[in-house]
Amino acid sequence: MLILIINCGSSSAKYQLFDAERHHFLAKGIVERIGHTNSSLRHQTNSGKPLSRNVSCKDHHVAIEIIVKTLTDDRCGVIRSKNEIKGIGHRVVHGGEEFKASTFITPKVIRSIVKYSELAPLHNPPSLFGIRACSEILRGIPQVAVFDTSFHQTMPSRSFMYAIPYRLYAKYGIRRYGFHGTSHRFVAEEAARKLWRPLKDLRLITCHLGNGCSITAIDGGKSVDTSMGFTPLEGLVMGTRSGDIDPAVVFYLMEKERLSPAEVSDLLNKESGLLGISGVSNDMRDVVKASKGKGKAAGRARLALDMFIYRIEKYIGAYVAAMGGLDAVVFTAGISENNPWLVKRIEDDLKGIVPREAKFLVIPTNEELLIARDTYKIIKARRK
Ligand code: ADP
């Protein structure tokens, strides 16, 4: 069964066409800079050379048209007709408290995703554009939503509540939701496979270290705590996000620097983290390179790395305590997968802190594969 995976961001639409029974992708790519004058398409089949070209793409509807046209193109396509696609899986960032698992998309589900746009104003609207475009261009093909938040819906209230007046949780849904759920869930399942043990018997800590970074405590296959909160700003030091910070810093900055709430938000989301401390870049490659030099700039880069690693170690310690034990720490995403020294350093630093038998694993994430699996399962179940 061919499943099309769509992941719409504010100005991009990523896609993968999966053969769900054979567990491999046929083609994948991305339409970038949607809504700009210099939009482009990158496309790759599992056997052919990657292709890249400029396209005219004013919105997500056009992006989906381009994707379908590319997949069915005589020269670079992999299918003859769009009717060969039997299901569409969408990555959706926020499913609030309502979606505890991936779900078949109905008009009611769409209304809920619209409702949760209030909690994820940058992320849910592009997903909705993608879902609507697919309902028009790929009419009649069943669609499934896979949420970044749903895996963390198993967190107990003691870890998801903020200690602010309860009425604000009731009124606005202010609580910790957690993100990157698809990635944490995928690598947890892979870790169980690698360790030859059932997931339900394992206490895992999964570290997703990419441009955004988060860490999750997974007890018996269930997320029991995670570092991102109401928004993806909380928790670890990231490329451009501060992670944990005393909220009083926000008021202090507003007063001293005469910043508006939106300006402080930008400062903490876009100018902080590795970039803010190193002054060099949000990209781990650049920070590592700078840290090897001499002088003040190298010192700042080393400080950024130290802070990045220290925060991860602090969370690992906290999550071992939260779960009362640990079987493995799993590292995934760009930073983990390309910086073995970093994982080794964390493993060495934590010797004597985590149980001696705990394993340290690096497992590449594959969110698209999990979205494809969920979509396939849900559509197959509905056909019966
Ligand atoms: P995203 O969250 O956007 O999916 P990725 O998982 O691609 O992010 O991770 C991006 C991070 O991975 C960046 O900080 C980048 O520096 C780091 N990274 C990617 N490739 C390498 C590499 N070859 N060496 C070191 N770091 C890398």
In this structure, the answer to whether residues 231 and 302 fall within a common structural domain is: yes
User: The pTM is what?
Assistant: 0.94
Rounded Cα gap, residues 90 and 125, in angstroms:
12
207 Cα to the center of ligand 1, angstroms: 14
Rounded Cα gap, residues 128 and 120, in angstroms:
12
71 Cα to the center of ligand 1, angstroms: 28
**Nearest atom within ligand 1 for CA of residue 365:** 6
- Per-residue pLDDT at 300 exceeds 90: yes
Determine contact, residues 298/290, Cβ cutoff 8 Å: yes
Q: Is the CB of 283 inside a 6 Å radius of any atom of ligand 1?
A: yes
187 Cα to the center of ligand 1, angstroms: 17
In this structure, the answer to whether residues 130 and 21 fall within a common structural domain is: yes
- pLDDT band for position 383 (50/70/90)? confident
- 225 carries an active-site annotation: no
> Which pLDDT belongs to residue 51?
93
Among the three residues 147, 177, 210, which one is the final residue of a domain in this structure?
A: 147
- Per-residue pLDDT at 151 exceeds 90: yes
- Per-residue pLDDT at 122 exceeds 90: no
Arithmetic mean of pLDDT, 85-94:
96
The verdict on residue 166 lying in a domain is: no
The verdict on residue 240 lying in a domain is: yes
The verdict on residue 188 lying in a domain is: no
How confident is the model over 49-67, as pLDDT tens digits? 899 999 999 999 999 999 9
In this structure, the answer to whether residues 357 and 208 fall within a common structural domain is: yes
- pLDDT band for position 308 (50/70/90)? very high
- For the domain that residue 74 is a member of, what is the CATH number? 3.30.420.40
Determine contact, residues 187/207, Cβ cutoff 8 Å: no
- pLDDT band for position 23 (50/70/90)? confident
pLDDT top residue among 18 and 384:
18
In this structure, the answer to whether residues 136 and 222 fall within a common structural domain is: no
Which of the listed residues 287, 338, 363 should we mutate to test ligand 1's pocket, taking the one with most ligand atoms within 8 A of CB? 338
Q: With H, G, I as helix, E, B as strand and everything else as coil, classify residue 138.
A: coil
In this structure, the answer to whether residues 342 and 237 fall within a common structural domain is: yes
Determine contact, residues 240/271, Cβ cutoff 8 Å: yes
Q: Is the CB of 339 inside a 6 Å radius of any atom of ligand 1?
A: yes
- Per-residue pLDDT at 360 exceeds 90: yes
Domain span at residue 79 reads 2-147
The verdict on residue 26 lying in a domain is: yes
Residue nearest to atom 4 of ligand 1 (CA): 210
How confident is the model over 91-121, as pLDDT tens digits? 999 999 999 999 999 999 999 999 999 888 8
Which of the listed residues 32, 207, 285 should we mutate to test ligand 1's pocket, taking the one with most ligand atoms within 8 A of CB? 285
- Domain total of the chain: 2
> Which pLDDT belongs to residue 73?
93
Arithmetic mean of pLDDT, 317-339:
97
In this structure, the answer to whether residues 122 and 206 fall within a common structural domain is: no
In this structure, the answer to whether residues 270 and 202 fall within a common structural domain is: yes
309 Cα to the center of ligand 1, angstroms: 15
The verdict on residue 283 lying in a domain is: yes
In this structure, the answer to whether residues 132 and 269 fall within a common structural domain is: no
The verdict on residue 297 lying in a domain is: yes
**Nearest atom within ligand 1 for CA of residue 339:** 25
332 Cα to the center of ligand 1, angstroms: 10
Of 182, 215, 25, the residue nearest 102 (C-alpha): 182
In this structure, the answer to whether residues 330 and 235 fall within a common structural domain is: yes
In this structure, the answer to whether residues 211 and 302 fall within a common structural domain is: yes
In this structure, the answer to whether residues 7 and 112 fall within a common structural domain is: yes
Out of 19, 74, 148, 348, the active site residue is: 148
The verdict on residue 157 lying in a domain is: no
The verdict on residue 51 lying in a domain is: yes
- pLDDT band for position 280 (50/70/90)? very high
Residue type, 117: S
How confident is the model over 181-240, as pLDDT tens digits? 999 999 999 999 999 999 999 999 999 999 899 999 999 999 999 999 999 999 999 999
> Which pLDDT belongs to residue 332?
98
Percent of the chain with pLDDT over 70: 100
In this structure, the answer to whether residues 204 and 89 fall within a common structural domain is: no
- pLDDT band for position 384 (50/70/90)? confident
Among the three residues 113, 147, 181, which one is the final residue of a domain in this structure?
A: 147
